[in-house]
Structure 1
């Protein structure tokens, strides 16, 4: 991480925003900017914890998706939908995991157009160890309390739901 600034740049942006665009528009801009910066901080923490396992957070997410699947395998298309990423990104993630020996790729037994990714035993072991490491750092959320994390999750859940990110079960 670079050296800390002697001022909060988001507060300064808020001051400037209020001056040029009015008081009402500053809080949303500040909230979004804060979320984006927090995402950068947390992602850096996660990637640092995953580095000994030769994983990035996106590779970890893909590996865990396979780890939690019933059979330890999923079609690449289904992985893309669940990870909410472009098919090219899934291919790249699986290429990387395959190169590490954590995943193998195979043809679907009944659908020639579908490729499956299957977690290997080294992949399962790595997923478990990496998860222990991430749990040990509370997924990079310190110094936030459990209540803070729950409130953030609930607030962002509402934003995602309203954006059509998912449909609530009835």
Structure 2
């Protein structure tokens, strides 16, 4: 159910006020950071979902197709997909199976390791991911809802947060993380 318009008060600011009123002053900023980022993710996810809906793609399916399209030959080992998408192997396998069923990806044995699988983008998959990328660029990425200066600052803050969480290691890989 969608709201007809903006709320008259920021519920996250009210939550912070309540946190402080209940004596949790030292954790109020942390709670606000976490809930603010989670709410921002919900807002961005809704925009992404709306842009991908005409293509019958979830963001997980789109990411896998886009990753394959970025590779030199449209083929990657399943283990590389898992590593690069930073998602549990079961989730990647499930997503890949749906893409195989829809003939957007082919799954085959690894040429040198019979236990491993390869994922290959089909022409239908390549065509679909290009159209979906054009829609995401036009409807979401061109204007994610923050001005360019704020975007650069937000990207840097989140990159520092990710690095501290162990998402990637220093020295920085090439190209530099955002």
Establish whether residue 96 from structure 1 lines up as the match of residue 75 from structure 2: no
CA distance in 1, matches of 2:142, 2:33: 19
Unaligned runs of 5+ in 1: none
Counterpart-to-counterpart distance in 2, 1:55 and 1:140: 20
1:6 paired with 2:8, answer yes
* Other structure's SS at 1:21 match: coil
Which structure's residues are more often helix, by fraction?
1
Picking from 55, 69, 72, the partner of 1:70 is 72
**2:137 alignment counterpart:** 135
Q: Residue 111 of structure 1 aligns with which residue?
A: 113
Tell me the TM-score normalized by structure 2. 0.89
Partner residue of 1:19? 21
C-alpha displacement of 1:153: 0.9
Deviation by residue 1:98-125 (Cα, 9 ceiling, x = unmatched): 1222111011111101100100111111
Q: For residues 147 and 83 of structure 1, what CA distance do their matches in structure 2 show?
A: 27
Q: Which of 40, 43, 50 lines up with 1:41 in the alignment?
A: 43
Aligned residues: 170
